[in-house]
Amino acid sequence: QLQLVESGGGLVQPGGSLRLSCAASGFTLDAYNIGWFRQAPGKESEGVACISAVDDSTYYADSVKGRFPISRDNAENTVYLQLNAMKPEDTAVYYCAADLWTHIQDMCTQRNAPDAWGQGTLVTVSS
């Protein structure tokens, strides 16, 4: 009923860039707060970037501030995460999630569970 599909992952060299897409179906994305999360092999899940439905305000993890801008395209019912200046430690499966009510800071710090998750897309940063 609420479906999110990620795309855009792949292999990139350190310092390179990728753009991840999170496309929604079954609901209107612009009514939801949207977040990107990642999980590296053997590590805990981490909130990366989140964007508010109310005013498009954003929240970023310290590790990606200035490198990974998040944005919306409501006409395409899609949220993007631009990955720039990538580092090997950015290697992870990246997931997007949607939530109707939770404040984006609480969402990105995983104090509340989102309403829906995507399947994930693998990003590998290697020389």
Amino acid at 36: W
Contacts of 30 (CB under 8 A, 6+ apart): 53, 72, 74, 77
CA–CA dist 104, 54 (Å, integer): 10
Residue 92 has pLDDT above 90, yes or no: yes
34-70 pLDDT tens trace: 999 999 989 999 999 999 999 999 999 999 999 999 9
The rounded Cα 14 to chain-centroid distance in angstroms is 20
Q: Are 31 and 45 in contact (CB under 8 A)?
A: no
12-38 pLDDT tens trace: 999 999 999 999 988 898 999 999 999
